[in-house]
Amino acid sequence: MQFAKNTLIRFAAIACMILLSPRGFAASIASAPYGATQQGQAVTQFTLSNARGVSMNCITYGGIVTRLDVPDRRGRRADIVLGFGSLNDYEKYNGKIHFGGLIGRYANRIADGKFELDGRDYKLPVNEPPNTLHGGPHGFDEKVWTVVKTFQGAQGAGVQLRYVSPDGENGFPGTLTVDVTYTLTDDNEVRIDYRAKTDKPTVLNLTNHSYFNLAGEGSGNVEGQLIMIAGSSYTPTRADSIPTGEMASVENTPLDLRALTPIGARLRSSNQQMRYARGYDHNWKLNKNGQRTGEPGFAARAYDPSSGRVLDVYTTQPGLQFYTGNGLDGSAIGTSGVAYRQTDGFALETQHFPDSPNRPTFPSTELKPGDEYHEVTVWKIGVR
């Protein structure tokens, strides 16, 4: 523990990460078939590669990030996201686990599967009784997205994906056109641009649900990895993970992660919030959103002392859900053939707050015709 404490003190004094040394190649993109869904829809895999030895794979099924290969401090590459080795497994498990997928229409939970908008009541299917989770059953991470374009150049390499959600899908109003662009830059940044338009007033909350393990997928639990979240307050929940509506300080709680802290240090706390979630599964109000500038602000940092890998998260979103894989029970076998269990990965889901459509004091998630939804999240990768 003394080593960890000293590590935190030294690390906190460093404002920036050491980038992986360049290799002189330009960012590029390649594609290949990834099979077909059980309904016969063809799925394509894209591989984005940059000049520093980082590569990311994503597929048109669910917009899922299936791999993110990153060198460690010695140049050894490893995949740092949890996932599966086949499309069949993504179809089998992703409605429950959501590995790497694009989540919509509403990331996180809506209480009792209902909300009111412009004087009209809307009822949603309940898939985490009594609530609706991640937009309900067969959400965006179970749809085959259309490829709008691919690109490579000075800005990096990327792919733009589109899904058109019909009016009334899972109870949500409006025909919604969603475009998500993944870009890998030569600065070791994965940039995710979310854009959407609707033809009727609706509510919307989009995120990516990747689970990270900076020591490498299948390497064991992440409890010794460090986490810092730039949030001084959070939204306490009831036993069913629905916010109570209040905003509480993280001071003197296991949720005070304003300095780098081992993920496992407080997992077994008797704090009621930690007991409800069986670990971390909470929404932080990000400090950088006191005044929004339209540019992604710093949200979180994760660091693995064993490999030296660092992940910084920046976002335009007001909140961050930190989740320690509490639902992983060994039933799902990952890419490397290892069974995934609790704390084998963690998620940093940048988003609006849970149950915002029913909480007028929370930042609004309403999208109106004529307006454009645009949020950005950046994963910046480095080593120390």
Q: Which residues are catalytic?
A: 209, 349
Residue 342 CB: number of other CB atoms within 10 A? 17
109 annotated to a ligand binding site: yes
Instruction: Please give the Cα distance from 161 to 245 (Å, whole number).
Output: 35
**Phi and psi based region of residue 107 (left: phi greater than 0; alpha: psi -120 to 50; beta: remaining):** beta
Question: 293 is written with which tokens?
Answer: 């500038």
Question: 135 is written with which tokens?
Answer: 């937009």
DSSP bridge pairs for 61: 144
210 annotated to a ligand binding site: yes
73 annotated to a ligand binding site: no
Question: 58 is written with which tokens?
Answer: 């994503």
192 closest CA partner among 5, 382, 379: 379
Residue 194 CB: number of other CB atoms within 10 A? 23
Kindly give, in sequence order, each residue whose CB lies less than 8 Å from that of residue 37, ignoring residues fewer than 6 positions away. Answer: 43, 61, 87, 91, 144
**Is the distance from CB of 117 to CB of 248 less than 8 angstroms?**
no
Sequence letter at residue 114: K
241 annotated to a ligand binding site: no
Binding-site residue set for beta-D-galactose: 108-109, 209-211, 281
